[in-house]
Structure 1
Amino acid sequence: MSLKDNPTVVLVHGAFADASSYARVIPELIACGLDVVAPAVPNRSLLGDAAYVAAVVRQIPGPVVLVGHSYGGAVITVAGVEDNVKALVFLTGYALEEGESLGELQGGFPDSDLPGALVYTPFPVEGSTTPGTDVSVRVDRFPSVVAADVDPHLASVLAVSQRPLAARAFTEKATAAAWKTKPSWGLVASSDRAINPEVERFGYRRAGMTTVEVDSSHLVMLSHPVAVAELIHEAVRATAQ
């Protein structure tokens, strides 16, 4: 398999984070000769974020393997219907059904530690007198809930540099489920305290994904980058073939 046959790997970050959450995975992928794109997702609405990622994907010549972490899994569920997306990889993510919201999928399972650690902050919405609501994680709870096995110094930096998620993203319904037509892989973080691992398992099982489990916190890309890179490589190899 020559490098020119490889798809581009597009890494979609989740809520309360930015593309730097892939900082330890990207070097692993680049070292193998893969082209990587890690866009900054607006985190304003599920459908708006999916449209943004889809626009990024459409500008990439050739095939794409689309990777989504956490909320990014919901984003790639919708954006992954783009013609040049050849495979999906979900990392501790939401694999929504068409017509389903994050809140509805989560609501079928016991809460994780995350809901009790959330902070709600109003923000101005351009052209509207009604403010939106940003959702983030309490700084003092972020390390234990989201990044329990990440270096404590890094976890403290991540806690104060969050990219909030607008509350509307939790209630918007997916307009497509790309996993129905694209081969998909899923990683469950079995020690996840931000998303109940059963939510991950259920979504992956429903989608018929190839699934692996890693004993990890929610930020598996930072605590287990080699395992994440290996799963992405598996999808790349299958796509290139």
Structure 2
Amino acid sequence: MPGSPTIVLIHGAFADAASWAPVTKLLLDQGHQVLVPPVFNRSLSGDAAYITSFVEQIDGPVLLAGHSYGGAILTVAGVAENVVGLVFVAAYTLEEGESLGALQGGFPDSDLAANLVYAPYPIEGAESGTDVSVAIDAFPAVFAGGLDQEQAQVLAVSQRPLSAVAFGEPASAAAWKTKPSWGIVASADHTINPDVERFGYQRGGFRKVIEIDGPHLLMQTHPAEVAAFITEAIADLD
């Protein structure tokens, strides 16, 4: 779509770029330029640095949309000069100097907290890191609610873990302070306490916030609504 920004969709923890697939197809069918890069889930600073580099290589303006942990990434990467707006979907919105753990710590735990699994992974020349994933048997209800059971089981065994380092690492920037932002709350979210989402969006003074009565993976269960919200944000850009 000539004149429109490139839409860059950022996935979160325990998922990959395919989590955005239904929304990606809708946006492409509408004629938008869309890119969905991988997130390596190794550290907030490293993941944000990669997305920043990815975005800065795009010719022209960019609208960033992030899901879950992807919201923390775009909070930092969104300061890239060619980013013109931010859309948070069932996502974390961090303040500069704040970590995921610190933000979550101010609210009651979601069902995710009791269903995390920890495993070591090697780091060349250093002590092993710790991967965090969702227990496979709990994944369908906690993370993939609203999806067909067979699809949820496939996602459960193919999830991309998040390094434990990312939970305690403070955000180095808060792009929502200088970039127009929009947010979607998943009011039936069992992965992130919906109040965490509401708090971040309210603190950020977002231009518009909507609530969808759906689970964490809104891009899978409510793709039309999510795609429409993203295109509405584009139309609302100054």
Q: Give the alignment's TM-score, normalised by structure 2.
A: 0.98
Q: Which amino acid aligns with 1:148?
A: G
Residues 98-109 of structure 1 mapped to structure 2, 5 A cutoff: 98-109=96-107
Distance 1:83 1:92 in 2: 25
Aligned to 1:151: 148
Match of 1:110 in 2: 108
1:177 pairs with 2:174: yes
Deviation (angstroms), 1:139: 0.4
Aligned partner of 2:42 in structure 1 is: 44
> In structure 1, which of residues 200, 205, 226 is the aligned counterpart of residue 202 of structure 2?
205
Residue equivalent to 1:35: 33
In the TM superposition, 1:43-122 aligns within 5 A as 43-122=41-120
Give the unaligned 5+ runs of structure 1. Answer: none
What is the aligned partner in structure 2 of residue 140 from structure 1? 137
Deviation at 1:4, TM superposition (A): 1.4
Amino acid at match of 2:184: L
How much has 1:73 moved relative to structure 2?
Answer: 0.2
Q: Given residue 227 of structure 2, which amino acid in structure 1 is its aligned partner? A: A
Q: Secondary structure at the match of 2:84?
A: strand
- Supply the AA of the counterpart residue of 1:22: W
Unaligned 5+ segments in structure 2 are: none
**Pairwise CA distance, 1:148:** 1.1
**Residue number in structure 2 paired with 1:168:** 165
- What is the Cα deviation at residue 235 of structure 1? 1.3
1:238 & 1:96 partners in 2: Cα distance?
A: 23
The CA distance in 1 between the partners of 2:29 and 2:4, in whole Å, is 13
Amino acid in the other structure paired with 2:210: V
Q: How many angstroms apart in 2 are the aligned matches of 1:6 and 1:199?
A: 31
Counterpart residue identity of residue 137, structure 1: V
Deviation of 1:14 (Å): 0.2
2:222 aligns with 224
* Aligned partner of residue 9 in structure 2, secondary structure: strand
Q: Is residue 193 of structure 1 aligned with residue 190 of structure 2?
A: yes
**Given the two structures, how large is their TM-score scaled by the length of structure 1?**
0.97
Alpha-carbon distance in structure 2 between the residues aligned to 1:87 and 1:38? 16
Moved over 6 A (4+): none
Note the C-alpha offset of 1:126. Answer: 1.4
Identity, % of aligned positions: 60
How far the C-alpha of 1:25 sits from its partner, in A, is 0.5
State the shift of 1:238 in Å.
2.0
Q: For residues 53-72 of structure 1, give each alpha carbon's deviation from its aligned partner in whole angstroms, at most 9, with x where no partner exists.
A: 00100010000000100000
RMSD of aligned Cα (Å): 0.7
* 1:17 matched residue in structure 2: 15
